[in-house]
């Protein structure tokens, strides 16, 4: 019997995209969140009230704990995760439920792998954090490049960018802005010489060729750093870069340095805390349709020779995040996941299954 799928944060921008994608696949997710009236309204709109709803608030962890039982899948889009994410992890681990989220924040990724992973392993459930555009595309691109490169590859670098023509000021959701504000000012990490080490975000900048253009990216702690070395143990170095326009990127880098001043950091986190009272929405379907996503991976040997590359192109990052979480949740509810504990997309589903699932939602290898 397939487990239930519970979407926590169903009335948020990303949660709603995941709900829509699940309903489109024929799943009947439980809609969970802190506003019972809005949840009922959503159920009425999508299913004539047939979809179950359940109230849960991070401020009252027992209500989050009540969402899932063993064998269920908890999908969480309640962020910023660094501040709001732990109760959902606690709920999944306590219940023995699988867990999938839309997180993109380095410190939360680190917490899931280092702290929650062992607890989930003991409980026999799988935790799949950062299961959206960040960082599924880079994990898949990295794995495909490493597979082609073979045993000699000791380093992989992943770069993320967008394709198409973004509409100025409309490309990000309120939740993303709030989470990015936290990311820029938080500590981050990298994978160097065979281990995870602390490193501030945007410490490195480099360019990539991909999607027929050249783009710049700034370094960020991602799930690739934890997940790819488990599948490819010969790896000594892993880097992930988020693309941005050139000059703006340099400014952000300076910003990240300034963030080490405590007063600056407090100001921005305070700002992002104010921004998350109620979803502030995000790009609508028309705006989303104007852009796509791009992930490029390069596998290198110890001398720095590029042995293999992989490029993936897919739909807009938000659409992709909703679709990926829906695919992952439906697959995990029906077939379970491979292994237990904190899992990356590749080890959690297996490379060929992940590749097929991504292709199903339009994320495909182009080079
Ligand atoms: N990895 C990726 O590629 C990717 C893509 C998209 C988004 N994200 C991340 O996903 C997260 C959500 O983004 P978004 O744009 O969807 O933001 P959003 O629309 O503001 O959604 C935030 C959600 O959190 C809920 N929430 C806030 N406080 C809560 C509490 N105390 N208890 C229960 N629920 C609470 C909100 O509930 P209400 O609906 O009741 O306000 C809302 O559903 C962000 O961290 C963002 O960075 C990542």
Cα 223 to ligand 1 centre (Å) = 19
Reading the block at residue 132, the tokens are 């959206």
Token pair, residue 46, equals: 């999508």
Among candidate residues 40, 125, 41, the one with its CA nearest the CA of residue 337: 125
CA atoms of 161 and 205, how far apart (whole Å)? 14
Q: List the one residue out of 112, 155, 105 whose CA is nearest residue 132.
A: 105
What is the 8-class DSSP label of residue 10?
T
| Count of beta carbons in the 10 Å neighbourhood of residue 346 | 27
pLDDT digits (tens, 9 = 90+) for 164-205: 877 665 567 778 777 776 666 578 999 999 999 999 888 998
* Alpha-carbon span 192 to 236, nearest angstrom: 6
**Distance (Å, whole) CA 204 – CA 57:** 38
Can you give the pTM of this predicted structure? 0.93
Q: What is the pLDDT of residues 61-112, one digit of tens each?
A: 999 999 999 999 999 999 999 999 999 999 999 999 999 999 999 999 999 9
- Dig out the tokens for 205 from the structure: 């900048």
How confident is the model at residue 281, as a pLDDT? 87
Note whether 362 and 320 are within 8 A (CB).
Answer: yes
What is the best residue among 10, 12, 172 to mutate for testing ligand 1's pocket, by most ligand atoms within 8 Å of CB? 12
Q: Token pair for residue 24?
A: 């489109």
Q: How far is CA 198 from CA 56, 106, 188, 192, in A?
A: 34, 11, 6, 10
Average pLDDT (106-123) is 97
Pocket around ligand 1 at a 6 A CB cut-off: 9, 11-15, 33-35, 57-59, 77-81, 84, 102, 104, 130, 132-134, 173-176, 179, 276, 278-280, 282, 317-318, 321
Nearest in space to 156 (alpha carbons), one of 31, 269, 297: 297
Task: Identify the CA nearest to 239 among candidates 288, 192, 187, 180.
Answer: 192
The mean pLDDT value of the chain amounts to 90
CA-closest residue to ligand 1 atom 41: 278
6, exposed or middle or buried, with CB in 10 Å at 0-12, 13-18, 19+?
Answer: buried
Q: What is the DSSP string of 151-191?
A: TT--EEEEEEEEEE-PPTT-SS-HHHHHHHHHHHHS--EEE
Going from the Cα of 126 to the center of ligand 1, the distance in angstroms, rounded, reads 21
Phi and psi at residue 161, in whole multiples of 5°? -150, 180
> What number is the average pLDDT over the span 146-172?
87
């Amino acid at each position: 019997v397939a487990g239930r799928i519970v979407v926590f944060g169903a009335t948020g921008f990303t949660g709603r995209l995941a709900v829509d994608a699940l309903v489109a696949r024929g799943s009947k997710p439980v809609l969970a969140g802190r506003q019972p009236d809005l949840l009922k309204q959503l159920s009425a709109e999508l299913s004539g009230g047939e979809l179950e709803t359940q109230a849960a608030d991070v401020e009252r962890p027992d209500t989050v704990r009540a969402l899932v039982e063993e064998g269920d899948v908890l999908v969480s889009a309640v962020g910023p995760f660094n501040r709001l994410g732990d109760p959902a992890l606690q709920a999944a681990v306590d219940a023995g439920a699988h867990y999938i989220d839309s997180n993109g924040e380095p410190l939360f990724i680190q917490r899931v792998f280092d702290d929650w992973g062992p607890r989930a392993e003991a409980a026999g459930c799988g935790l799949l954090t950062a299961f959206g555009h960040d960082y599924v595309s880079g994990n898949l691109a990295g794995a495909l490049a490493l597979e082609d490169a073979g045993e000699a590859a000791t380093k992989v670098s992943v770069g993320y960018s967008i394709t198409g023509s973004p509409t100025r000021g409309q490309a990000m959701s309120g939740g993303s802005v709030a989470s990015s504000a936290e990311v820029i000012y938080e500590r981050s990490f990298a994978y160097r010489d065979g281990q995870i080490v602390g490193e501030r975000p945007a410490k490195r900048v480099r360019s990539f060729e991909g999607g027929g253009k050249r783009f710049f990216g700034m370094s960020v702690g991602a799930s690739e750093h934890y997940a790819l070395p488990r599948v490819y143990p010969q790896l000594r170095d892993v880097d992930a870069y988020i693309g941005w326009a050139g000059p703006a990127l340099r400014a952000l880098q300076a910003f990240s340095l300034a963030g080490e001043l405590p007063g600056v950091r407090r100001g921005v986190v305070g700002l992002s805390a104010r921004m998350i009272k109620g979803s502030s929405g995000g790009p609508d379907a028309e705006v989303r349709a104007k852009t796509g996503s791009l992930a490029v991976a390069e596998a290198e040997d110890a001398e720095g020779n590029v042995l293999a590359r992989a490029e993936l192109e897919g739909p807009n990052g938000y659409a992709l995040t909703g679709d990926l979480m829906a695919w992952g949740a439906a697959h995990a509810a029906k077939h379970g996941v491979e292994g237990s504990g904190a899992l990356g997309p590749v080890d959690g589903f297996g490379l060929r299954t992940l590749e097929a699932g991504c292709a199903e939602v339009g994320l495909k290898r182009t080079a």
